[in-house]
Structure formats: C-alpha cells, structure tokens
Amino acid sequence: MFSILRTLWNILLHSFRPRVTIQYPDEKPYLAPRYRGRIILSRDPDGGERCVACYLCAVACPVDCISLQATEDEHGRRYPDFFRINFSRCIFCGYCEEACPTYAIQLTPDFEICEYDRQNLVYEKEDLLISGPGKYPDYSFWRVAGVQIGGKAKGESEREDAPADVRNLLP
Amino acid sequence: MNEAIIHVITVLGVLFVVLNIAAGLIWVERRLLALWQDRYGPNRVGPFGLLQVAADTVKLFFKEDWIPPFADKAVFVLAPAIVMLTALMSFTMIPVAPGIQISDLNIGLLFVLGMSSLGVYSVVLGGWASDNKYALLGGLRAAAQMLSYEVFMGLSLMGVVLLAGSFRLSAIVDAQRHMWFVVPQFLGFVLFMIAGVAETRRLPFDIPEAESELVAGFHSEYSGMKFGMFFVGEYVGVVLISVLITVLFFGGWLGPGLVPIAWFLIKVFAFIGLFILLRASLPRPRFDQLMSWGWKLMLPLALCNLVVTGAIVMATRR
C-alpha cells in the first residue's frame, strides 16, 4: 500500500526532470568520432586513390554488399575499375574498414542516407571517393618503406621512403 | 418557450463540451504520460501538438470500417454505440454549476450508477459478437470485473447519501457547503476511486484489454470509427468518474473566489490527471488478485463504512 503511494509520488516528481528525447531533425544528436555510418573511400595526402583493389573488404563483408573490379594503370599500380557499395544491404559492421590494408575504406559518422528509391542506395566509386585522407591524414601506403624484393633493398625503389629506424622513437 | 430553448442549449452545450474534452484527453493523456516518462509525446502537429487529435480523427474516419465475416453483425455494430450512449446519458444528471444541469432527478445518483453499469454491456457484447477468442476472454473478464466492482462502488457512495440525506446530486453538492464529504467519507472516497478506475477499465485495471495478454481484448476485431467509439467512450468514462468524484466528495462547484464552473473544471481536471498518473505508475494486477481484492477486501470495507456512517448519522440526527 505504501509502495503504491510512493510509486505515484516518484512518478509525479518526473514532471520536473529534463526530457531525454532529442528532437532529431531540429536538434542533431551527438555522434562519436568512431560512429559507423556511411562508407567512404579516402585518398592519399598526395591526392591519389588509396584503394589498391585487393578485394579484402569484399571478402570480409558479411552481407556481400561491396563489389569491385581491379585494374592496373601504366605504372602497374592496382586500382579499382569500379567500386560499388549497396547501402541497402550494408549493416555498417565496419569489417571492411578493419580488413583494409591501406586505410582506403573508412566509415564516417554520417547516417543520413535515406532515399525514396532503392536504386539510389547503390553508391558508385564517384559517390564514395572523397577528396581528403579521412581519419589518417599523414598515412600514405605507397610511401611507406616496403618490402625487400629481388634486386632491390628496402627504400630503394621510386617514390618510396627510407626504411624507418625501428630503434628510434622519434617520428 | 424561452425555457425550452435554454434547455436545448444546455443539452447541446454539455454534449459539445463533454465530447470535446473526451477527445482532447487523448492528447492530454499522451502528453502527460510522456512528461512522466521523460519524453515529449505528440508535439509536432499544430501548437504543442494540439492538432494531433484532429489528425487522429481524420485518420480513423478514413480507415477501412471492417466487419469480420464471422462476426454477429447487428450486435457488433451496436456494441460501440452502447458505451457512448450510456456514458453520455449519465452526464444528464451532473450538476455542473447552479442552474447548469440538464435534469435534476431525485434519484440522480442511482440513475448515474445504473447507466454506468449498463456500459459493461457494450464490452461484453462487443467481445461476444467478435467471435474471437481474445475478444471473448476480454468480454468475460470485463463482465466479472464489473460484477465484483459494481457492488462496492454503489455501497461506497451510500455513506455520502446518508450524510446528504438525498440521492439528488445538486442536493449532495449543497450539503457540502461546510465540509467536503471527502473528510468524513475518506474511506468511501478511496473505495469509490478504486472502483471508478475499474469501472472505466483503465490501467491498472485494464484487464479486459490487457494488450500484453489479449491482443486488444474486447476490441481486437474493431477498426475505424467503431474502434474510435470505444476509444472515446473510455475517455468519456474517465471524465464521468472524475466528475462524480468532484460532485460527491469534493464539493462540486463550491469554492471561494472563482466562478462556480471554473472550480468545477479545475477539480475535474485534477482527477483526470490523477487517472493518468495512475496509468503511468502502476502495473496491472493478475485477474484472480483483482477479483479477490474486490470481494474479500473492498466489499467488507464498504459495508463497514456504511454501517459506521449509518450509526453515526442515527446517533447525531436525534
């Protein structure tokens, strides 16, 4: 009996509490920097595409929403001929971002991608590519001193940095 | 002639106000529930979402008004009309303010109790005519609930009648000029309040509807404006019980300063708010608990209240 009255009183006190609702279209919610929303393809600091068309994202994708076709330019460098993400299938799990060896594919805190037409949810490469480097501003896959191959030591090939001194803490 | 016109105006006025308050309560309830659950509720249609009621009504009118092929058609159509009819009939007896009363029968209180009891027919018939298991169970529960709560609902008011010495509702209000009946009849007030919540089938006593158990209970098969009638009928019931509490226990239109009708409305709306607060805070009891409280606790309490009040009135009247 007493507990019923106490419940009533407690609920009545809720009249003076702030409301938790965020009135969305008028008031935007806070999204964490790592929020997993719309997927983008980023570029190097030099402006080139980061994607090397390795298909790892397409393999990692649990719902098979990524499809791409690799091709090579005149230097023998791989890049995607087309790169297509079907956002009506995407579950925004972020596995593609984790699989990507070059930080090319990234998820952004933007969830406002509603469309009236399902077809419009299929994003092509032009829609996905952004002009900047995304979350890793200084990273460039091609500049990183790579692997030793036959007839060439680390850091000797064109457009490659000298190998990092792993014993030095300085950047 | 002149008197007849005034009478017609009163009837139409009461009808208009009651129906509008009942419809507006849909908005009030949703906003208040939202307030107590730290939400906003409907606030986008019109100022403060006030036009939500209009939008909902338009929506209900354009919904398909479907009668299931297996239903008992005549009864199915009749049932939602009964709930509105009986609830509105009760309002003919209510003294809103001195002079604003459609009919002042000398058995006004009995008439109101009778009419509100007849309201259960709509629920039972609706549940029966739907020919649906859930609807039938809802109707069954409604019948049992009404039976157990109607008994002490009437008895809890007899104390008031003894003190006022009349069944006439305006006389009962006048008898509270010196002291509201809630003071000497506090037990009666509590009992009547509980019975009133059960009578209107509102949470925590919404066992006939019990959406977590019975889909929507007795109105599972109803759609369109027939469902709307049940819906608004429930709110008319809420207004009716609030009005009755005001008239019988809280001195009706009596109060200092303001015009009588303002006092009346303030009190009524306070009790409507209490109804919604009850809905916001209390869980639904089990069906057998409800029945056993009704028969084993409330009824003896109401009888004790009646006997003690009667004894005191007998002793002091001489």
- pLDDT digit string (tens) for B233-273? 888 888 888 988 888 888 877 777 777 888 888 888 888 98
Contact call for A21 and B281, based on CB within 8 A = no
- pLDDT digit string (tens) for A104-136? 899 988 888 888 999 999 999 988 888 888 888
Q: Which of B39, B280, B282 sits opposite A19 (nearest CB)?
A: B39
- pLDDT digit string (tens) for A37-95? 899 999 888 888 888 888 999 999 999 999 999 998 887 788 899 999 999 999 999 99
Please name each of the domains of chain A with its CATH number: 29-128 (3.30.70.3270)
Kindly state whether B297 is in contact with chain A, defined as any CB-CB distance less than 8 angstroms: no
Which of A19, A23, A26 should one mutate to test binding to chain B, selecting the residue with the greatest count of B CBs within 10 A? A19
Which of B43, B190, B203, B281 should one mutate to test binding to chain A, selecting the residue with the greatest count of A CBs within 10 A? B281
pLDDT number for residue A61: 92
Contact call for B40 and A23, based on CB within 8 A = yes
For residue A122, what are the β-bridge partners? A86
- pLDDT digit string (tens) for B114-165? 888 888 888 888 888 888 888 888 888 888 888 888 888 888 888 888 888 8
- Is B174 strand, coil or helix? helix
Helices (H) and strands (E) in chain A, counts: 4, 5
Structure pTM?
0.76
Would you say B305 and B188 are in contact if contact means Cβ atoms under 8 Å apart?
A: yes
Contact call for B36 and A11, based on CB within 8 A = yes
Mean residue pLDDT across chain A: 85
- pLDDT digit string (tens) for B152-172? 888 888 888 888 888 888 888
Q: State the ipTM, two decimals.
A: 0.72
Give the amino acid at A162: A
Q: Which of A4, A14, A21 sits opposite B36 (nearest CB)?
A: A14
pLDDT number for residue A169: 66
Name which of B123, B122, B112, B194 is nearest B153 in CA terms: B194
Count other Cβ atoms within 10 Å, centred on residue B315: 8
